[in-house]
């Protein structure tokens, strides 16, 4: 089996937080390679820095030191505009607590990333295509009946599916998920994991963070964070 090309590369990533007078060192030189089409699970104890690493990979935070490359481009060197584009088009984020906008309907939440990057005229021009893509996603995620509902009317599993729909809206090359099942019961959680499986089978690259071994086993490869470094 020939190895597919590297899509994401993290090298010697350091990150620490200042908490008053003391410094909490969270990442102490993390190295990570993700290949196209891979499904990687990052595991580690609570507080080991999994979320921090994922945020850095997704361009939501900057490392103190080290390199993050996406398809050869240095994420830390991106201009604000490039970074916005990276967050908007290249990666899709799924959070443990869904983080949907309460004021928007399910459909609007899903289509949001397509709207964000466009002016009103730009949006009007590609509205139909975006709507269509939104409908496809709602269909695929079993949310068609829910399109007009507001997030507070949905169950946890449904909300997480909306969040996945939003993450996939702009067809990102990389899907990042931070404990996507952390807030769900095991049946609902495994439903969500099935969605990830399907996506991965269709070629989607996924990096998933969890502290649950059973969840991690659904991935092709498990990376363990211990003491701010990747073990093994």
Partner 1 sequence: MYRLILITRYLLKRRITHFAIAAVALCVFTVVVVMTVMIGLVGGFKEKNHAFVGDCVVGTESLVGFPYYEEFMTLVEHSGLVQGVSPVVKSYALYGTEITDNYDNVEIVGVDPVRHSQVTNFAQTLDFNGHQPQKAFVPTYDANLPGCILGINRVSRPDPRGQYVHYDAPFRASVTLMCFPLNAMGALVGAGTNPTVTKRFYYSDDIHTGIAAVDFGYVFLPLDQAQLLCMSGQEKRINALYLKFRPNVGLQEGCRQIAELWRQFQADKAGAPNSFLLEGVNVQSWKEYRRAVVAPMEHEQLMLSMMFTLVGITTVFIVFVVFYMVVNSKKKDIGVLKSVGASNTGVLSLFQGFAFGVGLVGSCVGIFFGWLFLTRINQIEQFCYKHFGIQLWDRTVYVIGAIPNQVDPSALAVIMSCAILACLIGALVPSYLAVRLRPVETLHAGRM
Give CA–CA dist 112/207, Å, rounded. 22
Contact between 45 and partner 1 per CB under 8 A: no
Instruction: List the one residue from 6, 25, 33, 104 that touches partner 1 (CB under 8 A).
Output: 104
Q: What are residue 167's phi and psi, to 5 degrees?
A: -65, -30
Q: What residues does 112 pair with on adjacent strands?
A: none
Specify the stretch interacting with partner 1 by CB under 8 A; choose among 101-109, 141-149, 153-161, 194-202: 101-109
Contact between 55 and partner 1 per CB under 8 A: yes
Instruction: List the one residue from 3, 21, 22, 46 that touches ligand ATP (CB under 6 A).
Output: 46
Q: Which residues contact 128 (CB under 8 A, 6 or more apart)?
A: none
Give CA–CA dist 114/27, Å, rounded. 33
**Tokens in use for 130?**
């975006």
Contact between 177 and ligand ATP per CB under 6 A: no
Provide the minimum distance between the beta carbon of 101 and partner 1 in the complex, in angstroms, as a whole number: 5
Q: Which is nearer to ligand ATP, 165 or 228 (CB)?
A: 228
Q: 213: burial class by Cβ within 10 Å (0-12, 13-18, 19+)? A: exposed
Contact between 100 and partner 1 per CB under 8 A: yes
Provide the minimum distance between the beta carbon of 160 and partner 1 in the complex, in angstroms, as a whole number: 13
The H or E element that residue 193 is part of is: helix 186-201
Q: What are residue 13's phi and psi, to 5 degrees?
A: -80, 125
Contact between 28 and ligand ATP per CB under 6 A: no
Q: Which is nearer to partner 1, 65 or 99 (CB)?
A: 99
Instruction: List the one residue from 6, 60, 67, 78 that touches partner 1 (CB under 8 A).
Output: 60
Q: Which residue has the tokens 């443990």?
A: 96
Contact between 76 and partner 1 per CB under 8 A: no
Give CA–CA dist 29/31, Å, rounded. 7
Contact between 128 and partner 1 per CB under 8 A: no
Using CB under 5 A as the binding rule, the residues of this chain from 187 to 206 that contact Mg ion are: none
Give CA–CA dist 206/40, Å, rounded. 6
Positions touching partner 1 (CB under 8 A) are 51, 55, 58, 60-61, 80-81, 84-89, 93, 95-97, 99-104, 108, 112-113, 115-120, 123-124, 166, 178-179, 182
């Amino acid at each position: 089996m020939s190895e597919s090309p590297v899509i994401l590369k993290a090298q010697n990533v350091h990150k620490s937080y200042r908490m008053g007078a003391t410094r909490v060192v969270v990442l102490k030189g993390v190295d990570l390679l993700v290949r196209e089409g891979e499904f990687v699970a990052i595991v580690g104890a609570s507080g080991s820095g999994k979320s921090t690493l994922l945020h850095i990979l997704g361009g939501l935070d900057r490392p103190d030191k080290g390199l993050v490359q996406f398809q050869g481009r240095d994420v830390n060197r991106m201009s604000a505009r490039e970074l916005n584009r990276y967050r908007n088009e290249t990666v899709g984020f799924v959070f443990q607590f869904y983080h949907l906008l309460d004021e928007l309907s399910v459909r609007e939440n899903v289509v949001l990333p397509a709207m964000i990057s466009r002016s009103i005229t730009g949006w009007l021009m590609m509205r139909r295509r975006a709507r269509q893509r939104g409908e496809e996603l709602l269909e695929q995620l079993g949310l068609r009946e829910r399109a007009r509902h507001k997030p507070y009317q949905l169950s946890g599993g449904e909300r997480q599916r909306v969040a996945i729909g939003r993450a996939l809206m702009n067809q990102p090359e990389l899907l990042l998920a931070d404990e996507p099942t952390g807030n769900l019961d095991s049946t609902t959680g495994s439903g969500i994991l099935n969605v990830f499986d399907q996506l991965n089978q269709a070629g989607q690259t996924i990096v998933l963070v969890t502290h649950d071994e059973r969840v991690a086993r659904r991935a092709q490869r498990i990376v363990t964070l211990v003491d701010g470094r990747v073990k093994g």
